[in-house]
Chain A
Amino acid sequence: MPENTVKMKKNDAATAAEEPTAVGPTVAEAGPAPEKPRSLGADAWADLIRRPLFLISAVLIVFLLVMAAFPSLFSSTDPTAGDLSNHFLDKPKLGSLFQPDWFGYDAQGRSIYSRVVYGARVSIMVGVGVTLLTTVFGGLLGMLAGYFGGFWDTALSRITDVFFGIPFILGAMVVLNAFTDRTVWTVIGALAFLGWTTIARVMRGAVITAKHADYVVAAKALGAGTGRILRKHVLPNAIAPVIVVATIQLGVVIVAESTLSYLGLGLGTNDVSWGADISDAVKSIRNAPHILFFPAGMLSLTVLAFIMLGDAVREALDPKLR
């Protein structure tokens, strides 16, 4: 690994001890304590709830989470029940709000509205599940490699390289091809198995930058333990890029699931997923292009919500961008 010979000037390290970015005593929530400096997290939260971008994406995500958890609140029709008398060329009836024929019917006479509602569950589960697994696992590995350096860095970075070298979608295709009976958990497992490396690398890079910073040198000089330095100084200053990448990755994972379904390697035909519906809609794209619009639109809207959330969080977390 590159030995970065970034030389610190001693007087810089001394003055940086009073940097305003140094983390103050932790205040639980953004409580009104004007004489005490707020923690970075509380500061970020106070900033977040004033951002329209955050509020819009939060409302969207809450809406999607409710839809994923309780789809029957939104639609009373069975998404798998097909009635061939409902011809798929029937145009959407935009006047009949929340009725089965709102978005029209697909090639098998199934209600597109109902399928769009029920399809949220798979995308949300895969996206959130994979992102949680990869952030915890990849973040931990990246932090250890970045902070301790030396042998640990070499070993962990090589393992990361091995997994990173395998292209994501292609690797997932090979893994999922091995399973004939694929469930949501199979897809989550396959994508998490291959997808943790980006977080690990971003975390490692951010930790390497943060550990050379003057406030870490100062904290070390003042006798802080490794655990305290990692938690209080390195992690808060290295987490921002990880959160950005994790939210971007949440979108990537949801897209990956739909891509795999499009290629016929995602969930089985009994599961309702936007990806599988897009793949179905493509077959009739010349006769009824509107069928593609609804699952693809919901998919894009979901990805958009998580990316906007990541943007808002990043801008709130990074005091340099204010």
Chain B
Amino acid sequence: MGRYVARRLLQMIPVFLGTTILIFLMVNVLPGDPVAALWGDKPPDPAQMAKIKHDLGLDLPLWQQYLHYLGNLAHGEFGVTIAGSRPVIDEMAAAFPVTIRLALMAFTFEMVVGICLGVIAGIRRGKLIDTSVTIFTLLVISVPVFVLGLLGQQVIGTQLGWVTPNVQDSMNVGQLLLPAIVLGSLSLAYVARLTRTSIAENARADYIRTAVAKGLPQTRVVRMHLLRNSLIPVVTYLGTDIGALMAGAVVTEGIFNVQGVGNLLYEALARREGAVIVGIVTVFVLIYLVANLVVDLLYAVLDPRIRYA
């Protein structure tokens, strides 16, 4: 087990490097000169522009810029913004707690409600409740999240007045409730569908028949035998979904005016602040890699036939 984790941690290094190189390239082939944009509509002063570029290391070849960036990253530095020379880490430290809170709320919502709906539909396959859950998930998947967000904001926020349409305090759990439900709704539908399929397939397995035949109560059969064996695809999905939720926040945060990473990122894209974009994606990649390792370790907990040497 320990050796397996160590090997996986070592394997993360090339993936981390690969992803950061990829995003670094993607960001740096953006057209337009962010330094020239500092002058607005006025023609930039060439000498001053060259000096700023030199100070920021933007005049170096791309591979040197990348190595430079990695070197800084090893010290926990993410570079500075072009406009205002603010440390990127400060901007991220202000935005990430908001998005992590939003994503965790959405995650809890989708996991609890999704698995419950999936289990109920799966063991009552073909019944009314199954059809209702299937139709519900179909509708949720079919409507784009931003349309759902706009509708929720319009109906629940503006017309019914149950919540504030625009989030005033981005760390307030009550105000984040509606954005979190909107953010988690799509994944909730997938979790419910995956759980339902998996439960329906495993419900006919021999070990379930055995468990029922030897007289175990239904709750125990479902919880200990059926659910545990059916959760592997769901856990895989949930593990990769944490990163997806945080990235999906770009859209949701924009609709509800939440001051999180999505907001920071959207501004960075518009202002072409490469260091901010690369920094945010780097953190996302780290979260994704760790979540992935946890998922693989959970496999062995869920299915004892899987062993790690």
Interface string of A169-213 (1 = CB under 8 A from B): 111011101101000000000000000000000000100000000
Interface string of B186-220 (1 = CB under 8 A from A): 00001000000100110010000000000000000
B288 and A3 within 8 A (CB): no
A-B contact count (CB 8 A): 142
What is the CA–CA distance of A161 and B265 in the complex, to the nearest angstrom?
A: 22
Residue numbers in A under 8 Å from B300 (CB-CB): 2
A-B contact list, 6 entries, CB within 8 Å: A158-B11, A170-B284, A178-B29, A180-B31, A259-B146, A292-B150
B143, chain A: closest CB distance, angstroms:
5
Residue numbers in B under 8 Å from A4 (CB-CB): 305-307
In this complex, which of B30, B147, B308, B309 has the most chain A Cβ atoms within 10 angstroms of its Cβ? Answer: B147
In this complex, which of B26, B29, B250, B289 has the most chain A Cβ atoms within 10 angstroms of its Cβ? Answer: B26
B27 and A161 within 8 A (CB): no
B292 and A163 within 8 A (CB): no
B239, chain A: closest CB distance, angstroms:
11
B245, chain A: closest CB distance, angstroms:
10
Interface with A: B16-24, B71-79, B81-89, which one?
A: B16-24
Interface string of B140-162 (1 = CB under 8 A from A): 01111111001000100000000
Asked if B34 is at the interface (CB within 8 A of a chain A CB), the reply is no
Interface with B: A44-52, A144-152, A296-304, which one?
A: A296-304
* Residues on B facing A (Cβ under 8 Å): 4, 11, 14-15, 18-19, 22-23, 26-27, 29-31, 134, 138-139, 141-147, 150, 154, 190, 197, 200-201, 204, 236, 240, 243-244, 246-248, 250-251, 254, 265-266, 269, 277, 281, 284-285, 288-289, 292, 296, 299-300, 305-309
B179, chain A: closest CB distance, angstroms:
16
B250 and A320 within 8 A (CB): no
Residue numbers in A under 8 Å from B309 (CB-CB): 3, 5
What is the CA–CA distance of A39 and B288 in the complex, to the nearest angstrom?
A: 41
What is the CA–CA distance of A285 and B18 in the complex, to the nearest angstrom?
A: 43
- Residue of B at shortest CB range from A198? B240
B144 and A285 within 8 A (CB): no
B137, chain A: closest CB distance, angstroms:
9
Interface string of A240-259 (1 = CB under 8 A from B): 00001000100100010011
What is the CA–CA distance of A244 and B237 in the complex, to the nearest angstrom?
A: 14
**Could you say which of B138, B200, B265, B266 contacts A321, with CB atoms under 8 Å apart?**
B200
Residue numbers in B under 8 Å from A285 (CB-CB): 150, 154
What is the CA–CA distance of A171 and B269 in the complex, to the nearest angstrom?
A: 11
Q: Which of A251-287 contact B (CB under 8 A)?
A: 251, 255, 258-259, 262-263, 278, 282, 285
B4, chain A: closest CB distance, angstroms:
8
Asked if A168 is at the interface (CB within 8 A of a chain B CB), the reply is yes
Residue numbers in A under 8 Å from B204 (CB-CB): 320
B19 and A174 within 8 A (CB): no
- Residue of A at shortest CB range from B202? A320
Given contacts A165-B15, A178-B31, A285-B150, contact A6 B142 (CB under 8 A): no
- Residue of B at shortest CB range from A265? B269
What is the CA–CA distance of A60 and B281 in the complex, to the nearest angstrom?
A: 39
What is the CA–CA distance of A178 and B277 in the complex, to the nearest angstrom?
A: 13
A162 and B22 within 8 A (CB): yes
Asked if A167 is at the interface (CB within 8 A of a chain B CB), the reply is yes
Q: A178-B31, A321-B200 are in contact. List 6 more A-B contacts (CB 8 A).
A: A165-B243, A259-B146, A259-B251, A278-B146, A300-B139, A308-B138
* Residues on A facing B (Cβ under 8 Å): 2-6, 154, 158-159, 161-171, 173-175, 177-178, 180, 205, 244, 248, 251, 255, 258-259, 262-263, 278, 282, 285, 289, 292, 296, 299-301, 303-304, 307-308, 311, 314, 318, 320-321
What is the CA–CA distance of A244 and B198 in the complex, to the nearest angstrom?
A: 13
B147 and A296 within 8 A (CB): yes
What is the CA–CA distance of A316 and B91 in the complex, to the nearest angstrom?
A: 51
Residue numbers in B under 8 Å from A262 (CB-CB): 144, 146, 251
B142 and A304 within 8 A (CB): yes
Given contacts A158-B11, A159-B18, A167-B281, contact A255 B144 (CB under 8 A): yes
- Residue of A at shortest CB range from B27? A174
B243 and A303 within 8 A (CB): no
B142 and A321 within 8 A (CB): no
What is the CA–CA distance of A168 and B289 in the complex, to the nearest angstrom?
A: 15
A296 and B143 within 8 A (CB): yes
A170 and B299 within 8 A (CB): no
B280, chain A: closest CB distance, angstroms:
8
A301 and B142 within 8 A (CB): yes
B147 and A167 within 8 A (CB): no
B229, chain A: closest CB distance, angstroms:
13
Residue numbers in B under 8 Å from A300 (CB-CB): 139, 142-144, 147
What is the CA–CA distance of A321 and B205 in the complex, to the nearest angstrom?
A: 11
Residue numbers in A under 8 Å from B281 (CB-CB): 166-167, 170
Residue numbers in B under 8 Å from A164 (CB-CB): 240, 288
In this complex, which of B27, B30, B150, B266 has the most chain A Cβ atoms within 10 angstroms of its Cβ? Answer: B150
What is the CA–CA distance of A162 and B22 in the complex, to the nearest angstrom?
A: 8
Given contacts A4-B305, A162-B18, A307-B138, contact A171 B26 (CB under 8 A): yes
Residue numbers in B under 8 Å from A168 (CB-CB): 244, 247
A229, chain B: closest CB distance, angstroms:
23
B149, chain A: closest CB distance, angstroms:
10
- Residue of A at shortest CB range from B246? A167
Residue numbers in A under 8 Å from B142 (CB-CB): 251, 300-301, 303-304, 307
Residue numbers in A under 8 Å from B244 (CB-CB): 167-168
What is the CA–CA distance of A171 and B244 in the complex, to the nearest angstrom?
A: 11
- Residue of A at shortest CB range from B247? A167
What is the CA–CA distance of A194 and B250 in the complex, to the nearest angstrom?
A: 17
B30 and A177 within 8 A (CB): yes
- Residue of A at shortest CB range from B292? A161
- Residue of B at shortest CB range from A305? B142
